[in-house]
Amino acid sequence: MESIFFLFGLMGVVLVVHWAVVNDRAGNHGKTTGLFAMRDAETETAKPAVKPPIHPSARPPQRG
Amino acid sequence: MRSLIFTAVIMAMLPAAFFSPFVGVLLWSYVSFGSPQRLTWGISDAIPFALVIGLTGILGWLVTERRKIPTDRTTWLLLAFVFAYTISTYFAIVPSEAWPKWWLITKSMIYVFITAALLTNRVRIHALLWVMVIAVSFYGIKGGLFTLYTGGNYRIFGPVETMIGDNNHIAAALVVILPLMNYLGRQSQNELLRLGSRAAIALCLLSVLASYSRGSFLGLIAMLPFLLQHSKRKLLSGVLIVMLLAFSISFMPTQWVERIQTIQTYQQDSSAEGRLEMWTAATKMAVARPLTGVGFKGPYIQTVMDKYSPGTTARAVHSIWFENLGENGFPALFLWIALAVVAIQNCRYIIRRTKNAPQLKWANDLAHMSLCGLVGFYVGGSFLSLSYWDFYFTLLVILAATRRIVVQELAPEAKWILFNRTAAAAAARARLAPQRPLGGTAD
């Protein structure tokens, strides 16, 4: 059992190293990809938001 | 088999550590904080992994990616701390015992400085945190499952002959990583990782309790208000945390409850009394030698103890504060405290500046969770000897690097705000100025 955990840990470190090398160019702004991809501002804002109600005066005039 | 796989994997990654020295930092952190090599037997016994990885990383840093070590308050204080304990070691009462410990700590400190130099972006910070958490949580997850299986009747220990080998030490280490795991879970896009981090937190929490460490239990309790402070739904989070803690405590046997209850009756407890005795002895040592203390390992040597505190048995000081004071004197203690103050200031600065910056939410989360971990460490560490824990120093440079990134990221924004303010002030001045008719003078 301990060996399995040990291998999981080792595999985890290898994956993190790989992720760090691949995503290093993303720096502070870019989007990260892969297993350890970080949530970024874009991901946060991509969530469906509730539409604010439109004020009647702002609506386009109806024809007919 | 384990030994062969471990050796093969590390050796295969060594070239990467040379060409990309940050890989060296990650490997060093894994080997240094988790000591996985202690869990292997065979071919890996003959290889000094830390030394091999360390030298490859340093060589890579010098040749392929030579970045300057940042000159911020954290690195200056760390440098001053190294200088202070080196002077103390030079004047140590038993140099033959002090110098080996000096070397053990200094080689970790060298890597802390290299880590500081190479932590240049959020991806690196995030990756390093993952490695730090994986390295230590391995013992927490394993210990948590063991506790579930055995009903909490046995104590949890860390890897033998390492800084976190003792049950109190591994518990303190787990207290520090609990909020960091929460940060990593919150910041992960992958749903499996988010769920996994929650499960790992629960298991590590069980391990903290199963260590039977009263100091770490206090650290855990001290951390909770800070955890709640960050939560958006404070009531719900509070109820959940209390339920999780209550469930974990109810799982522990009566002997655990009896042990924790001795916190209230510490005057009757020999272990707690022994700690008070050692703190007094460490203070006496520092008063007798205020500038240098007695040197590393001094409190562990009976002849030294007999000289400064006759009648006290030489052993570990069991406090991050008094250990520093007794071994290295007042200057080193003040520097250590200054480092702690700067770390908390860094957290507070990051939290304040990133409150309304969605692109820096990761930094806000990290600062909040690190603050929780630091509080847990300072409270829990007050009862155990972990003053020179490299994991802690690495966390300090991570916070300093995060602060640098925040300053850098918000600089254009700050300039824009300043420009707007100046323009607004000019407009206001223009409005207030006496109106002159267009195309001519007033008179």
Contacts with A13 from chain B: Cβ below 8 Å: 26-27, 30, 131, 134-135
- Tell me what pLDDT residue B80 has: 96
Amino acid identity of A3? S
- Binning pLDDT at 50, 70 and 90, where does residue B158 land? confident
CA distance B10 to B12: 5
Amino acid identity of B437? P
CA distance B247 to chain A (A): 25
- pTM of full prediction above 0.90: no
- Tell me what pLDDT residue B256 has: 78
* Planar angle of CA B59, B63, B69, nearest 5 degrees: 80
CA distance B137 to chain A (A): 9
- B188 phi and psi, to 5 degrees? -90, 140
- Tell me what pLDDT residue B434 has: 54
Q: With CA atoms as reference, report the closest residue to B154 among B228, B212, B82.
A: B212
- Binning pLDDT at 50, 70 and 90, where does residue B64 land? confident
- Binning pLDDT at 50, 70 and 90, where does residue B442 land? very low
Query: Is A43 at the interface with chain B, CB within 8 A?
Result: yes
- Tell me what pLDDT residue A24 has: 87
CA distance A57 to chain B (A): 31
Residue positions counted in chain A: 64
Contact B9 A10 (CB under 8 A): yes
pLDDT at B440 over 50: no
- Binning pLDDT at 50, 70 and 90, where does residue B441 land? very low
| B151 or A10, which is more confident | A10
CA distance B10 to B17: 10
CA distance B5 to B84: 41
CA distance A45 to B199: 27
CA distance B307 to B315: 14
Tell me the residues of B at the A interface, defined by beta carbons under 8 Å apart. Answer: 1-2, 5-6, 9, 13, 16, 20, 22-23, 26-27, 30, 34, 36, 39, 121-124, 126-127, 130-131, 134-135, 138, 141-142, 186-190, 193, 358-359, 361-362, 405, 408-409
pLDDT at B428 over 90: no
Q: Which residues pair with B188 in a beta bridge?
A: A38
Per-residue pLDDT of B266-319, as tens digits, reads 666 667 778 888 999 999 999 999 999 999 999 999 999 998 888 888 888 889
**Sign of the CA dihedral A27, A30, A33, A38?**
positive
Per-residue pLDDT of B365-411, as tens digits, reads 999 999 999 999 999 999 888 899 999 999 999 999 999 999 988 88
| Lowest-pLDDT choice from B98-102, B150-154, B415-419 | B415-419
CB neighbour class for B39 (10 Å; exposed up to 12, middle 13-18, buried from 19): buried
**Torsion angle of alpha carbons B99, B102, B106, B108, nearest 10°?**
120
CA end-to-end span of chain B: 99
Q: Which two tokens stand for residue B276?
A: 């008070």
